[in-house]
Amino acid sequence: MKKFLKEAMRSLLYFVARVAPKTNTAVLRGPSSYEDNSIAIYLGLLSRPVKSIVWVVNDPQILPPIDLGRNVRLVKRGGFLDVYYSVTARFLFLTYEHYLRKTPPSQISVNLWHGVPLKAIGKMVGSEGRADDFLVATSDFTRPIYAKAFGMHEDQCIITGQARTDRMFDLDRQALWQRAFPDQPVPEKVYFWLPTFRLTKHVKEQRDGKAMGNIFNCSDFSEDLFNSHLAENNAVCLVKPHPATPQESLKNKSNIHYIDEAWLIKHRLTLYQLTGAVDCLISDISSIIVDFMLLNRPVILLFEDMKEFEGNRGFSLNPITDYLPAKVAHNFQSFMIELALVQNGQDPYAEKRRALKKLFFKYDDANASQRILDYAFKKLLP
């Protein structure tokens, strides 16, 4: 019954979108209020012929970490205006799921998505496909992966690069530290840790890997030893847990700082600005490790439950280790060995990283958002 009502509502909204007059408006809608895809597209739209920009956010009272023009309106996610502009705007720029699975010919819908999929996503894990006008891809290699994940034709997948990676070229470590920690000296190295979440909502609340009891997804992880190593080497690690991970018990240490979306907004930073300013990225299977290859800097991978993850969620590429930019550490000891290599200036995986960068990316510049907008406006005015 629930599925029937959902499909009935979707059909009604599609009918309304088909008959409603369109305004020269662009809608930005992502999984969080001010994620980098939306920001990069917004900045690109400032020089394009649109009358107004509507930004769908969780709380319109919270402003973004950038200045807004007068033609921008913030509307609450799930509210009436969210629906109204979704059916009346000429352009939809979407980074995540949307209740309109397809749009009429009078609208131009661009699926920006949020990363090169290493994990199985979309139709690979039983979700619905989409029928957008365009789906952003990064290379000839990733195009069929995106097409399979969303059930779209490959010729709808435009090789432009991802808008969000434009933001990685904004800041360096010095600029980051002056903005985030102006009263503290700049450390010798800054690490950024982005662990992934271990729950798949699409498959009956299936757990992707194992429950480790900590946000680092490592059963024998020692936060104290990690912090001591950082302190001894004049290094700092910023850790941003997945938004769905409980964070009440997380406490900063001398050289480990836990951050979230509110912290980023407070310091007028975005995730990808921060990512572009660090010396090394630490993660397990987050798509950001692919994006980080654009910068040709070291990556450390700690992925204890890789086999369990593969058996549950699965990967879009196999064997997954062939497509990862570093050796995978499976416990705390092997992680510390990889950390020491980076701290000492060694980069044993540089050659593999460069080869993978060529495979995953056609472009390595900060102009992806402009290429995406070129496609969108060319469709409007061929």
User: What is the average pLDDT across 256-265?
Assistant: 93
Using alpha carbons, select from 244, 343, 347 the residue that is nearest to residue 32: 244
Using alpha carbons, select from 296, 180, 289 the residue that is nearest to residue 238: 180
- Tell me if domain 2-161+365-380 and domain 168-360 are identical in fold: yes
Residue 204 confidence class, pLDDT cut points 50, 70, 90? very low
Please tell me the predicted confidence (pLDDT) of residue 118: 81
Query: Residue 264 has which token pair?
Result: 């980023």
**2-161+365-380 has CATH 3.30.56.10 classification:** no
Please tell me the predicted confidence (pLDDT) of residue 96: 78
pLDDT digits (tens, 9 = 90+) for 42-94: 999 999 999 999 999 999 999 999 999 999 999 999 999 999 999 999 999 99
pLDDT digits (tens, 9 = 90+) for 162-200: 999 999 999 898 999 999 999 999 999 999 999 987 665
- Asked whether the beta carbons of 107 and 132 are under 8 A apart, the reply is no
Please tell me the predicted confidence (pLDDT) of residue 243: 75
CATH fold, domain 168-360, is Rossmann fold (3.40.50)
Single-letter amino acid, residue 24:
N
Please tell me the predicted confidence (pLDDT) of residue 127: 78
Residue 365 confidence class, pLDDT cut points 50, 70, 90? very high
Query: Residue 92 has which token pair?
Result: 């939809």
Please tell me the predicted confidence (pLDDT) of residue 119: 79
Q: What is the residue-averaged pLDDT of the chain?
A: 90
**Would you say residue 209 has pLDDT above 80?**
no
Q: Cα(178)–Cα(85) distance, rounded to whole angstroms?
A: 39
pLDDT digits (tens, 9 = 90+) for 291-335: 999 999 999 999 998 888 888 888 888 999 999 999 999 999 999
Count H helices, E strands: the chain? 13, 15
pLDDT digits (tens, 9 = 90+) for 94-105: 997 788 888 889
Give buried/exposed letters for 257-292 (b at 16+ CB in 10 A, else e): ebbebeebbebebbbbbbbbbbbbbbbbbbbbbbbb
Residue 258 confidence class, pLDDT cut points 50, 70, 90? very high
**Would you say residue 366 has pLDDT above 70?**
yes
Please tell me the predicted confidence (pLDDT) of residue 202: 43
Please tell me the predicted confidence (pLDDT) of residue 306: 87
Single-letter amino acid, residue 123:
K
Query: Residue 39 has which token pair?
Result: 């920001």
Domain edges within the chain: 2-161+365-380, 168-360
- Asked whether the beta carbons of 43 and 68 are under 8 A apart, the reply is no
Q: Could you give the percent of the chain with pLDDT greater than 70?
A: 94
The count of C-alpha atoms lying within 13 angstroms of the C-alpha of 282, restricted to the half-sphere facing its C-beta, is: 25
Please tell me the predicted confidence (pLDDT) of residue 203: 45
User: What is the average pLDDT across 131-155?
Assistant: 93
Please tell me the predicted confidence (pLDDT) of residue 249: 75
Please tell me the predicted confidence (pLDDT) of residue 101: 84
